Structure 1
Amino acid sequence: MHISKKEIEVRYAETDQMGVVYHANYLIWMEVGRTGLIKDLGFSYAEMEKEGIISPVVDLSISYKKPLHYGETATIHTWIEEYNGIRIRYGYEIYNPDGELSVQAESLHVCVKKETFKPIQIKKFFPDWHETYEKEKKIK
């Protein structure tokens, strides 16, 4: 199982009046992690979209453990938690500079045709992705 690691320096605009990262910004960082994982595995969301396929989030779970603050560096760990050929569940852990867990999350995605939003079988449209995701998903 490959775990992608990306660092993001917390910008002032990402914090709230309490001086901590505003909760919705973690969703953006999760996308950075997910895109990074896909790139690490040799693929591209942009190329998928050129083929008329998109991958919307259909479910999201997030748990906030410790705040991150302006000027700190967040490290996002992203992996494939589950994959069944149609649905992909990505796992995320975001750490503070001391290596403490700040956020734990999962997002569930389904690949669909852009025009109809009908789900596709990834194996049929993107056999290379399917093979790699089967190999890289978390073993339970």
Structure 2
Amino acid sequence: MHVSEHIIDIRYAETDQMGVVYHANYVIWLELGRTKLIEDLGLSYIQMEQDGIVSPVLDLQVTYRKAMRYGEKAIVKTWIEAVNPLRVVYGYEILNEKGELCITASTTNILVKKDTFRPVSFKKLYPDWYEIYVREQKNENIN
């Protein structure tokens, strides 16, 4: 199983009045982590979009464990938790530079045609990509 790492320098604009990272920014960081994982596996989300396919988030789960602050570095770890022909579950951890776990998360993504938003089979449309995901997944099945 490949675990991708993406390092983010936390910017002042990403914090709230309490001086901690505003919760919605973590969702953006998950997208960065997911994109990095796809690239690390030698795949191209840009090519998928050029094919008229997008991968919206169907479900998002986030647990906030420890506050992160301006000036720190966030380390976004991303992996494939589970995959089936219609869905992919990505797993995430965001750690601070001390290695302390600050966020755990997962997203469930599907593939849809960009113009109609009708779901399509990941396995049928991108069989090579699907096989890479099956090989790299952490668990056997989607819960």
Give the TM-score normalised by the residue count of structure 1: 0.97
2:127 paired with 1:101 = no
Partner of 2:34: 34
Q: Where in structure 1 are there 5+ consecutive unaligned residues?
A: none
Alpha-carbon distance between aligned partners in 1 of 2:60 and 2:122, rounded to the nearest angstrom: 21
- List aligned pairs for 1:96-135, cutoff 5 A: 96-135=96-135
- What is residue 92 of structure 1 aligned with on the other side? 92
Report the AA paired with residue 90 of structure 1: Y
Code of the residue aligned with 1:103 in structure 2: it is I
SS at match of 1:13: helix
Q: Mean Cα displacement is larger for which, 119-128 or 106-115?
A: 119-128
Q: How does 1:9-88 map to 2 (within 5 A)?
A: 9-88=9-88
How far apart, in 1, do the equivalents of 2:116 and 2:53 lie? 10
Any stretches of 5+ residues in structure 2 without a counterpart?
Answer: none
Q: Name the SS for the 1:81 alignment partner.
A: strand
Q: Distance in 1 between matches of 2:114 and 2:6?
A: 29
Q: Percent identity?
A: 56
Question: What TM-score comes out, normalization by structure 2 length?
Answer: 0.95
